[in-house]
Amino acid sequence: MKDDVSRDDFLSMDEDSKMQVRVQALARAVVDQEILTGNEDLNALQDGLDRASNTEKTDTRKRSMPTSPKSSTMTGAEIVIKSLIDQGVEVVFGYPGGAVLPIYDELFKQHQIEHVLVRHEQGATHAAEGYARSTGKPGVVLVTSGPGATNAVTGLQDALMDSIPLICLTGQVPTFMIGNDAFQEADTIGITRPCTKHNWLVKDTDDLAETMHQAFYVATNGRPGPVLIDIPKDVQFASGKYVGPRNIKPTAYQPRVKGDSAAIQAAVEMIEGAKRPLFYTGGGVINSGPHASQLLRDLIEATGFPVTSTLMGLGAYPASGDKWLGMLGMHGSYEANWAMHDCDVMICVGARFDDRITGRLDAFAPKSKKIHIDIDPSSINKNVRADVPIVGDVGHVLEDMTRIFRSRGAKTNKPAVKKWWDKIEEWRAVNCFSYENSDELIKPQYAVQRLAEAMKKHGDYYVTTEVGQHQMWAAQYIPFDAPNRWMTSGGLGTMGYGVPAAVGVQMAHRDSLVVDVAGEASFMMTMQEMSTAVQYNLPIKIFILNNERLGMVRQWQQLLHGERYSSSYSEALPDFVKMGEAFGCGGMRCDKPGDLDDAIAEMIAYDGPVIFDCLVEKHENCFPMIPSGKAHNEMLLSSTSGGDIAQAIESSGAVLV
Ligand SMILES: Cc1ncc(C[n+]2csc(CCOP(=O)(O)OP(=O)(O)O)c2C)c(N)n1
Ligand SMILES: [Mg+2]
Residue 488 pLDDT > 80:
yes
Question: What percent of the chain has a predicted confidence (pLDDT) above 70?
Answer: 87
**Cβ–Cβ < 8 Å for 539, 605:** no
Tell me the pLDDT band of 64, cut-offs 50, 70 and 90.
very low
Question: What percent of the chain has a predicted confidence (pLDDT) above 90?
Answer: 82
Q: How many CB atoms lie within 10 A of CB 575?
A: 12
**Active-site annotation holds for 121:** yes
pLDDT digits (tens, 9 = 90+) for 281-337: 999 999 999 999 999 999 999 999 999 999 999 999 999 999 999 999 999 999 999
Superfamily of domain 261-428, CATH level 4: TPP-binding domain (3.40.50.1220)
Residue 60 pLDDT > 80:
no
| Cβ(521) – ligand 1 distance below 6 Å | yes
pLDDT digits (tens, 9 = 90+) for 102-144: 999 999 999 999 999 999 999 999 999 999 999 999 999 999 9
Topology of the domain covering 444-615: Rossmann fold (3.40.50)
**Active-site annotation holds for 184:** yes
| Cβ(549) – ligand 1 distance below 6 Å | yes
- What are the extents of the domains in the chain? 75-247, 261-428, 444-615
pLDDT of residue 42: 39
Ligand nearest to the CA of 522: 1
Residue 430 pLDDT > 70:
yes
- Distance CA(405)–CA(303), nearest Å, equals 9
> Using CA positions, which residue lies closest to atom 23 of ligand 1?
550
Class of domain 75-247: alpha beta
3-state SS of 80-149 is: HHHHHHHCCCCEEEEECCHHHHHHHHHHHCCCCCEEEECCCHHHHHHHHHHHHHHHCCCEEEEECCCHHH
| Cβ(495) – ligand 1 distance below 6 Å | yes
Instruction: Pick the range with the lowest mean pLDDT from 66-75, 116-125, 201-210, 310-319.
Output: 66-75
Ligand nearest to the CA of 496: 1
pLDDT of residue 341: 96
* Winning range, highest mean pLDDT, from 360-369, 436-445, 552-561: 436-445
Residue 443 pLDDT > 70:
yes
pLDDT digits (tens, 9 = 90+) for 221-237: 999 999 999 999 999 99
pLDDT digits (tens, 9 = 90+) for 555-598: 999 988 999 999 999 889 999 999 999 999 999 999 999 999 99
Residue 589, classed as helix, strand or coil, is strand
Examine domains 261-428 and 444-615 and report if their fold is the same. Answer: yes
| Cβ(546) – ligand 1 distance below 6 Å | no
pLDDT of residue 114: 98
Q: How many CB atoms lie within 10 A of CB 643?
A: 8
| Cβ(240) – ligand 1 distance below 6 Å | no
pLDDT of residue 46: 43
Residue 570 alpha carbon, nearest atom of ligand 1: 16
Q: What's the predicted TM-score (pTM) here?
A: 0.90
Q: What is the DSSP letter of 596?
A: H
Among residues 121, 520, 617, 620, which one is catalytic?
121
pLDDT of residue 44: 44
Among residues 233, 370, 443, 630, which one is catalytic?
233
The arithmetic mean of pLDDT across residues 77-82, rounded, is: 98
The arithmetic mean of pLDDT across residues 609-631, rounded, is: 94
Tell me the pLDDT band of 86, cut-offs 50, 70 and 90.
very high
Burial tier of 548 (Cβ tally within 10 Å: 0-12, 13-18, 19+):
middle
| Cβ(331) – ligand 1 distance below 6 Å | no
Count, residues in the chain: 657
| Cβ(551) – ligand 1 distance below 6 Å | yes
Residue 520 alpha carbon, nearest atom of ligand 1: 16
**Active-site annotation holds for 183:** yes
What is the whole-number distance in angstroms between the Cα of residue 105 and the centre of ligand 1?
A: 39
What is the whole-number distance in angstroms between the Cα of residue 114 and the centre of ligand 2?
A: 35
- Distance CA(639)–CA(439), nearest Å, equals 20
**Active-site annotation holds for 233:** yes
What is the whole-number distance in angstroms between the Cα of residue 494 and the centre of ligand 2?
A: 14
- Residue, of 357 and 496, whose pLDDT is higher: 496
| Cβ(335) – ligand 1 distance below 6 Å | no
pLDDT of residue 2: 40
Q: Which of 522, 569, 618, 619 to mutate to test the pocket of ligand 1 (most atoms within 8 A of CB)?
A: 522
Q: What's the chain's average pLDDT?
A: 91
Among residues 20, 110, 184, 528, which one is catalytic?
184
